[in-house]
Each structure stands twice: as structure tokens, then as C-alpha cells.
């Protein structure tokens, strides 16, 4: 069993009437990349602030690396590198100078700070811009510098709130790849939030779908499909050539068939279990000319449509 780095125990955050986070239980393991995904207003930032000890849960407890976040926020801060959605730097200093300053503020000597800064600038592929003033950086560059800045402190856990926000598609891919590599190469535990399910899930070991303060489900994509899209399991698409007399009547008599839909292109058959073999047998033994038979895979798009679109809180 992997070591737990972040543990949320039944936490609730109440702002006056509004419950921003409702009885959230979640454990994040050492070395994993966890994506906290949900539409705007879901409670992602609030959850992150509670983990960082920046705001207190109304109920429940948060532990980071075994340390109580509310009681010992300063100790938690030493373990966690936090990349907010807008990182502040000294704009008229270069990227290198900014990192060296961070190193010094964290107790490093100049030589060691410079050594580390050089290393991390290289790792985040910013060595080419090391001597440029931060004021001239693009948003994507700032985010990468932000990551290097966090890494100067040698954290065990890295938390990023909406890291891809406002970056162009190429920059997003570079940043995500970088985050993935940090986890793989350095064993860092990474928690990131995003309302852009599609972008971020690809680099996550697990994701949690967070809507209106509640964690609907978490796990890998397959787990999510099972829990969130239960009614689309075991749906098959069959293409049949030529006339298919009484196909629907005959099919509906099969014990495993739950429902049948069709359009000009194909038949969509929902079974009550995974049984593609039996279904294929049905077509063959009834002498239909079966062109293709595929299990339909439901995934992120469907999760997105169902839970993210219109999931925003308007007030």
C-alpha cells in the first residue's frame, strides 16, 4: 500500500449559507499525479487552500505528510510547493535571479542556489530564457518558471491550481509533459486542479470529478466510466449489410438484450452483461450480413457533457 501524502478526512467548508465543500474524503498517495477536476465554482480552490492550511475547514481534518494542516500550517508549507493560478515574480529581474533569490530566502548559499536554479531551469526547459527579465515572459513561461521556483524548495508535494489556464495549446502540452516527467523522474506527489478535463486527465494517474462541492467519483478513467456512466455500459454498435428483416424483433427476444436503437448507419444494442461473442453468434446464426460489431466506448466526452457542461454555479 502506497504511503498517503495528502489525507482529507470528511472536510466541509461552509461560507455563510453556501457549502463550498461537502464532506470530502480523499487520500492522495506518494508519487501519484492526482487531478481534481470540476467546473468553475466546484470548490477546487477552496479544497486546495484547506490543504495548504490557508483556510480552515468548518468540519473535518487535513493531513499533509502526516502533519495537521490547520494546526501546523508553517510545517506544511515546508513540505508543499504551491503554484497559484497567478505567480508573482520580480518583473525586472531575470528568471535566474528570481530563482536564486528564492533559494537564498530558503536558506541556501549563493553558489548552491545558482547550481539548483540552473538545474531546474534546464528541467523546465527555460534555460534559453534564464537571462531574460520575467516581465518579458509569456504566461506559459511564467508557469514553467513558477514550477522551477517551487522546486528550488525541494518539496515533497506540489500543488497547482489551474496550471494550464491562459496558456496556448502548445504551451499546455509542454507544461503537462513537464509535470508528468517531474512525477516519473523525481517521485513527486502532484495535485493539480482544472476545469479542463480533457487537457489534464492524460497525465493523471487518478482524477476526481468534483461538482458543487462534492466528489462524485474518483479513480482512473475506467473507474469513472463505471461509476458515472453506468447506464452506458455494454452498449454495442452493429452494422449490418442489406435488408435485415425482423432483426429488431428477433434481437429483442434474446435474454441478454436490454434495449435496441437504430439509425441509418447502425444498430445500438444494450446488453445486461458483456457478451459480444453471443451477440456475434446471433447475427451469424440468423444469417445477417454483419459488417462490424463493436463495443462502444464511453469516455471523457460523455463525462464532460454530463457533469461539466452546465455544472457551473451561477451565483
Residue 194 binds to ligand ADP (criterion: CB under 6 A): no
Report 21-50 residues binding ligand ADP (CB under 6 A).
38, 40-46
Q: Which is nearer to ligand ADP, 44 or 144 (CB)?
A: 44
Residue 65 binds to Mg ion (criterion: CB under 5 A): no
The site string for ligand ADP over 43-82 (x = CB under 6 A, - otherwise) reads xxxx------------------------------------
The site string for ligand ADP over 100-139 (x = CB under 6 A, - otherwise) reads ----------------------------------------
DSSP state of 204: -
159 binds, among ligand ADP, Mg ion, none (CB under 5 to 8 A by kind): none
The site string for Mg ion over 41-60 (x = CB under 5 A, - otherwise) reads ---xx---------------
How far is 192 from 84, CA to CA, in rounded Å? 10
- If binding means CB under 5 A, how many residues of this protein chain bind Mg ion? 2
43 binds, among Mg ion, ligand ADP, none (CB under 5 to 8 A by kind): ligand ADP
Q: Which is nearer to Mg ion, 193 or 201 (CB)?
A: 193
183 binds, among ligand ADP, Mg ion, none (CB under 5 to 8 A by kind): none
How far is 99 from 59, CA to CA, in rounded Å? 38
Q: Which is nearer to ligand ADP, 43 or 95 (CB)?
A: 43
**CB neighbour class for 22 (10 Å; exposed up to 12, middle 13-18, buried from 19):** middle
Is 95 in a helix, a strand, or coil? helix
Least distance to ligand ADP, CB of residue 239, Å: 42
- Residue (of 38, 82, 85, 90) closest to 64 by Cα position: 82
Residue 15 binds to ligand ADP (criterion: CB under 6 A): yes
* Window of 38-46, 105-113, 167-175, 285-293 that interacts with Mg ion by CB under 5 A: 38-46
Cell of 167: 496558456
Q: Which residues pair with 292 in a beta bridge?
A: 239
Query: Phi, psi (5° rounding) for residue 12?
Result: -130, 140
The residue with cell 455500459 is: 233
- Residue (of 11, 67, 71) closest to 43 by Cα position: 11
How far is 139 from 87, CA to CA, in rounded Å? 10
Q: Which is nearer to Mg ion, 44 or 206 (CB)?
A: 44
Q: Where are the beta strands (DSSP E) in 48-198?
A: 59-64, 67-68, 80-83, 157-161, 189-194
Is 97 in a helix, a strand, or coil? helix
Q: Which is nearer to ligand ADP, 18 or 106 (CB)?
A: 18
* Number of Cβ within a 10 Å radius of residue 38: 28
Binding region for ligand ADP (CB under 6 A):
15, 18, 20, 38, 40-46, 313
Amino acid at each position: 500500500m502506497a504511503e498517503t501524502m495528502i489525507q482529507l478526512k470528511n472536510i466541509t467548508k461552509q461560507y455563510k449559507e453556501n457549502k463550498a465543500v461537502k464532506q470530502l474524503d480523499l487520500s492522495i498517495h506518494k508519487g501519484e499525479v492526482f487531478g481534481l477536476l470540476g467546473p468553475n465554482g466546484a470548490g477546487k480552490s477552496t479544497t486546495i487552500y484547506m490543504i495548504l492550511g490557508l483556510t480552515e475547514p468548518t468540519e473535518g481534518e487535513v493531513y499533509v505528510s502526516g502533519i495537521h494542516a490547520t494546526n501546523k500550517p508553517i510545517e506544511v508549507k515546508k513540505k508543499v510547493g504551491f503554484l497559484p493560478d497567478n505567480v508573482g515574480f520580480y518583473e525586472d529581474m531575470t528568471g535566474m535571479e528570481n530563482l536564486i533569490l528564492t533559494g537564498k530566502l530558503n536558506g541556501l548559499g549563493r553558489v548552491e542556489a545558482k547550481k539548483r536554479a540552473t538545474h531546474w531551469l534546464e528541467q523546465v526547459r527555460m534555460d534559453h530564457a534564464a537571462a531574460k527579465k520575467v516581465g518579458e515572459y509569456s504566461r506559459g513561461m511564467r508557469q514553467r518558471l513558477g514550477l522551477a521556483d517551487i522546486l528550488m524548495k525541494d518539496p515533497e508535494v506540489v500543488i497547482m491550481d489551474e496550471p494550464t489556464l491562459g496558456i496556448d495549446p502548445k504551451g499546455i502540452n509542454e507544461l503537462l509533459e513537464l509535470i508528468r516527467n517531474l512525477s516519473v523522474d523525481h517521485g513527486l506527489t502532484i495535485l493539480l486542479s482544472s476545469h479542463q478535463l480533457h487537457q489534464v486527465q492524460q497525465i493523471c494517474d487518478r482524477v476526481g470529478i468534483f461538482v458543487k462541492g462534492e466528489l462524485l467519483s474518483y479513480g482512473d478513467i475506467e473507474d469513472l466510466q463505471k461509476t458515472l456512466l453506468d447506464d452506458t455500459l455494454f452498449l454495442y454498435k452493429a452494422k449490418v449489410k442489406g435488408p435485415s428483416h425482423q432483426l429488431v424483433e428477433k434481437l429483442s427476444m434474446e435474454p441478454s438484450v436490454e434495449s435496441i436503437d437504430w439509425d441509418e448507419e447502425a444498430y445500438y444494442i444494450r446488453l445486461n452483461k458483456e457478451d459480444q461473442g453471443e451477440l456475434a453468434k446471433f447475427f451469424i446464426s440468423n444469417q445477417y450480413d454483419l459488417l462490424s460489431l463493436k463495443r462502444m466506448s464511453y469516455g471523457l466526452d460523455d463525462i464532460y457533457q454530463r457533469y461539466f457542461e452546465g455544472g457551473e454555479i451561477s451565483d
